[in-house]
């Protein structure tokens, strides 16, 4: 797939209204989730036709419509929306750097997230915020390893993910019991990463970013940020599949805050249904980020959780999304309420 042709779903319905509209041919499911879309824009290269009712879309677009409607195949994680707790094992992360640097604190923090309802814990040993100092893979593993091993022993029913760009860390993490590798470079940073993961059976998160964390702000130039993010992620999905990673192992992340301005992040967030074109499960990570502060006027990242929850709920129409947050309990409550309302 080259993703020259994209379907942008809109006019979302939920619950009984969605079911009736689908039954009467006036809507289609969105990514097999709780929402159905009643109209769509048909985008070919840079040309947009404008939004039209799904019943009026030409037959030549049926393959693209079917791709957007079907549920992503994802056999690596439980088939339900999952709250992913962020466990930064770094001294310099923008929100909670140093809080979990000691192994005992990391384990206590991770177990508290599990108790609060996290289905996944995402452990990271390298800050990728703008201007963060690089660390060696060995230093990164020294931060992650002890906590990962301890959590694997104590949180047996929880999926453990490791946030890393380095194959050395990936290999050791998988050997220690990690089930997901979350790579902000989408397997570009380390040429050994893709061949390594092709030989394993773990889940793999591919995040959109241009450049590297130190230079990504220079690359935040787009004509249509949502379409370009989807197409560039599509290239990474294709590279992963061609490299031997089965599509059902893949999760995609639009990379809010990475090589995107606040305005571009906001547009991407408002157009998340476009991601359904890729046929992969979606991870959304907007927790406490600078865009939240810019839009709410809250300067302290630790006080941005209410707005984080509101923004993160935007991923739920896409079905079994992964919701990556620092504050798990509030996010779990928000998801339960959203699902109860939209199932009625």
- Whether residue 69 contacts residue 28, with contact meaning beta carbons closer than 8 Å, is answered with yes
Estimate the crossing angle of helix 103-116 against helix 328-343, to 10 degrees: 20
The closest alpha carbon to 281, from 169, 191, 159, 166, belongs to: 159
Question: Among the options 210, 324, 336, 339, which is catalytic?
Answer: 324
Q: Which of 289, 303, 304, 336 is catalytic?
A: 289
CA pair distance 261, 1, nearest whole angstrom: 28
Angstrom distance (rounded) from CA 167 to CA 315: 29
φ/ψ (deg, to 5) at 110: -65, -45
DSSP secondary structure, 224-284, as one string: SHHHHHHHHHHHHHHHHHHTT--GGGEEEE--TTSS--HHHHHHHHHTGGGGGGG-SEEEE
Whether 324 sits among the annotated catalytic residues: the reply is: yes
Partners of 182 in the beta sheet?
A: 163, 205
Alpha-carbon Rg of the chain, whole angstroms? 19
Rounded to 5 degrees, φ, ψ at 65 are -60, -45
Catalytic residues: 289, 324
């Amino acid at each position: 797939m080259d993703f020259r042709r994209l379907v942008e779903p809109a006019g979302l319905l939920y619950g009984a209204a969605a079911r009736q509209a689908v039954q009467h041919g006036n809507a289609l499911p969105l990514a097999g989730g709780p929402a159905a879309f009643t109209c769509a824009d048909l985008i070919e290269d840079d040309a947009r036709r404008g939004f039209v009712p799904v019943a009026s879309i030409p037959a030549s677009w049926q393959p693209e419509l079917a791709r957007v409607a079907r549920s992503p195949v994802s056999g690596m994680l439980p088939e339900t929306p999952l709250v992913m707790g962020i466990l930064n094992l770094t001294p310099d992360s923008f929100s909670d750097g140093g809080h979990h640097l000691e192994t005992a604190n990391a384990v206590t923090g991770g177990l508290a997230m599990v108790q609060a309802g996290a289905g996944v814990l995402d452990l990271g040993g390298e800050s990728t915020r703008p201007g963060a100092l690089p660390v060696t893979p060995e230093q990164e593993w020294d931060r992650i390893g002890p906590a990962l091993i301890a959590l694997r022993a104590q949180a047996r029913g929880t999926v453990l993910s490791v946030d890393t760009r380095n194959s050395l860390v990936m290999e050791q993490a998988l050997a220690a019991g990690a089930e997901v590798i979350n790579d902000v470079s989408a397997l570009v940073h380390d040429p050994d990463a893709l061949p390594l993961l092709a030989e394993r059976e773990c889940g793999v998160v591919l995040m959109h970013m241009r450049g590297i964390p130190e230079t990504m702000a220079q690359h935040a130039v787009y004509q249509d940020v949502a379409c370009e993010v989807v197409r560039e992620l599509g290239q990474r999905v294709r590279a992963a599949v061609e490299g031997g990673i089965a599509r059902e192992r893949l999760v995609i992340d639009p990379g809010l805050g990475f090589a995107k301005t606040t305005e571009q992040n906001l547009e991407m967030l408002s157009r998340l249904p476009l991601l359904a074109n890729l046929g992969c499960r979606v991870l959304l990570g907007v927790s406490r980020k600078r865009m939240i502060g810019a839009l709410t006027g809250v300067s302290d990242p630790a006080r941005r959780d209410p707005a984080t929850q509101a923004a993160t709920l935007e991923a739920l129409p896409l079905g079994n999304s992964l919701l990556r947050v620092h504050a798990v309990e509030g996010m779990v409550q928000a998801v339960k309420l959203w699902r109860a309302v939209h199932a009625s």
